[in-house]
Amino acid sequence: MTEEYETFIEIDNKWLSLDLFRIGFICDINRCKGACCEAGEQGAPLSDTEAQWLEEELEKILNFLEPDGQKAIELQGPWVRDEVGRPCTPLRSDGGACVYAIRGKENVWRCALEKAWEAGLTKSRKPLSCHLYPARITQEHRVEVIGYHSWHICAPACALGQALRIPLFRFLKDGWVRAYGWEFYQKLETAYTYYFTSPPKRG
């Protein structure tokens, strides 16, 4: 690999940023108010399978949406393509929130897709890109590269994770298991123990 991957490690043909192990992270929803559902210039990245799922199960989801979200879907459809042609969730016209974002108690943004899943109405919880955020997956030369997306709105999550000594990769446990299986997550734990908690080897 080239020098740009010096801060990455390889696990199962995936290159993972060491920031996923170094940085503390626990979503502090009461402080950030779920801003990742509202801020940003485009919606959540989707796989082709997820885009198809949204089309198939849209009727089960619509009742969980706010009126502005429903209207945006009527105009744009359940998913759109970004500037390079990849599927993503549409944005609402009232300030850029994801069409699937709903404002709950204390003005905290929640995910309508997750609400529908919790109610047992849909087969998928939410886009994997949301489940694994702030880890971001890109494809480079048939290899998945999993990096860390640093965003100022997640500063409270970094502070809380640092205080409680919870590394980012561990906070994302459910997402890793969903994406790659339990054995892959166990390898992440092994890598963390080896690189960050084991005593240094003697020469």
Which band of pLDDT confidence, cut at 50, 70 and 90, is reported for residue 141? confident
The residues spanned by each domain of the chain are 1-25+134-197, 33-123
Report d(CA 103, CA 143) in Å as an integer: 37
Rg (CA), the chain: 18
Give the model confidence (pLDDT) of 25-82 as tens digits. Answer: 999 988 999 888 888 788 999 999 999 999 999 999 999 999 999 999 999 999 999 8
Token pair belonging to 132 = 């694994």
Give the model confidence (pLDDT) of 165-191 as tens digits. Answer: 999 999 999 999 999 999 999 999 999
Closest CA to 91 of 54, 34, 38, 127: 38
The count of other CB atoms within 10 Å of the CB of residue 122 is 21
The phi, psi pair for 11, rounded to 5°, reads: -135, 120
Model pTM? 0.87
Report d(CA 113, CA 62) in Å as an integer: 9
Crossing angle of helices 182-192/173-180, nearest 10°?
130
The count of other CB atoms within 10 Å of the CB of residue 164 is 11
Residue 85 scores a pLDDT above 60: yes
